[in-house]
Amino acid sequence: MKLYPIETGNLKLDGGAMFGVVPKSLWQKQYPADENNLCNWAMRCLLVVDDNRVVLIDNGIGDKQDEKWLKHYYLNGDFSLESSLNEIGFQLSDITDVILTHMHFDHCGGSVRWNEDNSGYLLTFPNATYWTSKQQYDWATNPNRREGASFLKENILPIQESGRLKLIKREGEHIPNITFKLYNGHTEGQVIPHIRHGNKTVVFMADLLPSVAHIPMPWLMAYDTRPLDTLKDKERFFAEAVKNDYVLFFEHDLYNEACTLQETPKGVRVDKSGKLAELIG
């Protein structure tokens, strides 16, 4: 098995939204903001190459939204999904499976693209099976008012209409060496892939833990629909991660690609951080 971080570009989001009730005087020491209170966040995906499976976990924001919509997110960086794949020798058509942790636009927008004359949509990965949880799909297609703006029908319905969408209802190893575990709180039925890589478990954190700065228990996003459930899920995950020496891979942390955890008198904190390749050996 080989693991490749896939950079798809960065976006800017309000620091208060990303850190909820934590005061700016505290969170800015951990994650800096600009003069408009915006923090820069990665949209980092992961490619898992294992025998004949080429599995992409999440795929960024995509490029089919109009300029007026995109300007709210201040996209930046020298990367794109396709260029990052090409750089390591893969084409869009090589992807066999796409795991969508959830269907917020910055995680699944790259799933679908315009056709040649912009009259309709095509799947970005024409040979792939797309995976997410039934709980998340049902939630995304019948969204609540608070979260509805994060679910764009053009990111979701073309996948379902293609017949290539598989919805899992329960946790399990639905792809060899990748266990799908489900977490709520941020959104319903968020899929957190646990990847067995040799004697290590690499966990794609998605929005269960957006960055190293979110490791302290009360540091939650205002985007979480049920923050008390997020707290429970963090506690449950941390117990497993410390015990089993998981390697955490971050989708949104601009400064830290991956880390391990340790128990301290102040609670769970970072043990080692760095590039994924350094931590898995």
pLDDT in tens, 78-129: 999 999 999 999 999 999 999 999 999 999 999 999 999 989 999 999 999 9
Number of domains the chain contains? 1
Q: Which two tokens stand for residue 191?
A: 């899929």
Domain range for 114: 2-280
Residue 137: predicted pLDDT: 98
Instruction: Tell me the Ramachandran region of residue 93: left when phi exceeds 0, alpha when psi lies from -120 to 50, beta otherwise.
Output: alpha
pLDDT of residue 217: 96
Give dist(CA 210, CA 259) in Å, integer: 12
| 190 neighbors 101 (Cβ within 8 angstroms) | yes
Averaged pLDDT of the chain: 97
Q: At 271, is the pLDDT very low, low, confident or very high (cuts 50, 70, 90)?
A: very high
Mean pLDDT of 241-254: 98
Specify the pLDDT at position 71: 94
- With beta carbons less than 8 A apart as the criterion, state whether 220 and 231 touch: yes
- How many other CB atoms are found less than 10 A from the CB of residue 281? 9
pLDDT digits (tens, 9 = 90+) for 144-155: 998 999 999 999
Average pLDDT over residues 231-240: 97
Q: How confident is the model at residue 236 (pLDDT cuts 50, 70, 90)?
A: very high
**Per-residue confidence (pLDDT) for residue 205, from 0 to 100:** 98
Mean pLDDT, residues 118-141 taken together: 97
43 within 8 A of 106, measured Cβ to Cβ: yes
pTM of whole model > 0.95? yes
Question: What are the angstrom distances between the C-alpha of 27 and each of 44, 109, 215, 231, 242?
Answer: 21, 28, 12, 18, 24
- Give the C-alpha separation, 234 to 231, whole Å: 5
Q: What is the pLDDT of residue 2?
A: 98
Structure tokens at 172: 């399990």
Two structure tokens written together for 54: 């080429």
pLDDT at 250: 98
Domain CATH code at residue 248: 3.60.15.10
Confidence band, pLDDT 50/70/90 cuts, at residue 159:
very high
Mean pLDDT of 57-78: 95
CB atoms under 10 Å from CB of 17, counted, come to 13
- Supply the pLDDT for residue 229: 97
Give the count of beta carbons closer than 10 Å to the beta carbon of residue 87: 12
